[in-house]
Amino acid sequence: MHAALAGGIIIFIAGLLIKYGRLFMRMAANDPAFAGEERKLELRRMESLAGNGLLVMGLVLLAGGILARYGYPEATDTAWFIFLLIGLFIIFRADRRKG
């Protein structure tokens, strides 16, 4: 229960930093592979996908932790399962955009 709440908060904050703090762009700023305008657009799309995904993943974990706190202990397991499914979706979606 506490792991879901703490994990949800941390992942939600990471999503905010990536989506609105342009953290992804700062990490790739020195990479010569992202020099062209087309590459920058691709990076912005990936940044949006990762940011939105992390925001949703954090909210799912927070909801699972809150529901577990109010008497639904199976909500935590369900939240972690949904969390993993969203993570797999992001990985497959990012891989599809790459090629």
Whole-angstrom Cα distance, residue 58 to residue 16?
10
10 vs 26, more confident: 10
- Pick from 51, 38, 67: which is nearest to 12 by CA? 51
Find out whether 15 and 53 touch, Cβ atoms under 8 Å.
yes
Over range 41-63, report the average pLDDT: 87
Indicate the average pLDDT of the chain.
Answer: 82
User: What integer pLDDT is reported at residue 25 of this predicted model?
Assistant: 63
Q: Left if phi > 0, otherwise alpha if psi is -120 to 50, otherwise beta: which for 21?
A: alpha
User: What integer pLDDT is reported at residue 59 of this predicted model?
Assistant: 93
Q: What is the pTM of this model?
A: 0.79
Over range 44-72, report the average pLDDT: 89
Q: What is the DSSP letter of 86?
A: H
